[in-house]
Amino acid sequence: MSSSVPTRREDELSPADRQRLKDAHRALRAAVAAYEPFTLGTELQPGQPVPTHPLDKMAKAQAAVEAAERELWRLREELLGWARPSWAPTAASVSDWFSPDDSVYDEVDSGPSR
């Protein structure tokens, strides 16, 4: 049964399972970075032209973000019992999904638990 509260902690996972979560997080981060050029990124000023992008490339980048996000949430549910909240925005719709503060998640120690 999954809930919004993890039933396991990350430090209870095997090193291999912690690595799976770490890899999924990095994959999402990379997909979001590849999608960034297709987002507006700043406030559009009056008279400023709206940037356009090739639809097929944008759709492919967005699909990669969605697939990486699905995999991360699938692993969170499988390994931690944590279901994705229904109110959480998708990574493709949030241009500042990752901040410098999130870099701590890239430093997950997959060594033995202490």
Determine the pLDDT at residue 44. 77
pTM passes above 0.75: no
- Residue type for position 14: S
Q: Choose between 9 and 1: higher pLDDT.
A: 9
Q: Is the pLDDT of residue 56 over 80?
A: yes
Residue 82 backbone dihedrals phi, psi, to 5 degrees: -110, 110
Q: Report how far apart, in Å, the C-alpha atoms of 48 and of each of 40, 55, 61 are.
A: 12, 21, 25
- Answer yes or no: is pLDDT of 57 > 70: yes
SS (H, E, C) 27-71: HHHHHHHHHHHHCCCCCCCCCCCCCCCCHHHHHHHHHHHHHHHHH
At 69-100, the pLDDT tens digits run: 999 999 999 999 888 888 877 776 765 555 55
Q: What is the pLDDT of residue 114?
A: 47
